[in-house]
Structure 1
């Protein structure tokens, strides 16, 4: 049985196209073990000057730091145990949502998900694939304005996740004639995806 970790990050709630696409995808895997984290409904705290102290290997932690470290440990365990990380990543102002960035801030921990060597960083997450579902109001794929997907692939690769597939739904703010075929194509690609 496959283990799937699904991350939603849209602030649009029930109106989110990326969340709807993730839900449709997950409906195919009712027999799988699935964890869904809605990072907008239940956000990971923003890493600040106090919380970054949770990363220290020793020393006493404040209650807030200890709570943050426990959350970080849980998030890391979830992604390490997943066969597939499914990530809803709507494009906001040419980048990923803040909610998704804070998840990465809690998951990217030296000695846990990556380590530094003489030749550079090495990711420690093994055997996890990633599927990114990205929705955009405009059309940015393979253009100079798509900073989101190269950034996500870099972050995932840094953690050791190198097998990454992307499903796009673009032009969603450009009228029904553009949006509907894009959404239909995304649904078709997701229905054909194999873990």
Structure 2
């Protein structure tokens, strides 16, 4: 198994999403002893936010791209190749102001390319990423969004499932560490989240 671990929090060792993502990767490795892990920290070298040159390069045939366009499309091509090579993708997702971090959003903008990772058909969009890949979202939030009043304003998990589903990545499991800013909950939030990870069950989803 080839495991891709994407990190999108700049907090390093203090990040709950990184700790949770690492725990998921550990269980995947335990279940698949011969697996390899590629860690891609999106905060170390953030993907550039899309500008005109990126969009031009996406829609220009390879043989017609200028040197500037060839350089602009490089990040996207590398990210898509990395995604295609993975059997399992673990994505660390800190919740910032009800949304995903800008670094994670930039990555998504570079991998979602019409004609490359999805295409439009008469029956709607169709994903072009090789099927059979498993995605694990390691979601960390200061509040509670899995249930109660917060569930109505959970814009992160529905967005990610929609964006990944566009590419054909529909086998998505969510593991949460919640309430990391709430007194009385934050003290045991990580312990509860780690105890909830059961890769064997997740693989069967």
Structure-1-length-normalised TM-score: 0.91
Q: Is residue 54 from structure 1 mapped to residue 57 from structure 2 by the alignment?
A: yes
Q: 2:190 aligns with which of 172, 180, 183?
A: 183
8 A Cα contact 2:87 2:133, kept in partner: yes
8 A Cα contact 1:79 1:128, kept in partner: no
Deviation at 1:62, TM superposition (A): 3.8
Structure 1 SS opposite 2:152: coil
8 A Cα contact 1:53 1:61, kept in partner: no
Deviation at 1:180, TM superposition (A): 3.5
Deviation at 1:170, TM superposition (A): 0.8
Structure 2 SS opposite 1:89: strand
Of the structure 1 ranges 126-135 and 25-34, higher mean CA displacement relative to structure 2 is found in 25-34
C-alpha RMSD over aligned residues: 1.6
Structure 2 SS opposite 1:43: coil
* Alignment map for 1:57-68 (pairs within 5 Å): 57-58=60-61, 59-63=64-68, 65-68=69-72
* Alignment map for 1:90-101 (pairs within 5 Å): 90-101=94-105
**Deviation digits for residues 122-160 of structure 1 (CA, Å, limit 9, x no counterpart):** 011112111001000111224111010000000111010
CA distance in 2, matches of 1:32, 1:88: 19
The count of corresponding residues between Structure 1 and Structure 2 is 191
Q: Is residue 193 from structure 1 mapped to residue 203 from structure 2 by the alignment?
A: no
Q: Which runs of 5+ in 1 are unaligned?
A: none
Which residue of structure 1 aligns with residue 170 of structure 2? 162
Deviation at 1:76, TM superposition (A): 0.7
Structure 1 SS opposite 2:95: coil
Structure 2 SS opposite 1:137: coil
Q: Is residue 85 from structure 1 mapped to residue 50 from structure 2 by the alignment?
A: no
Q: Is residue 141 from structure 1 mapped to residue 135 from structure 2 by the alignment?
A: no
Q: Which runs of 5+ in 2 are unaligned?
A: none
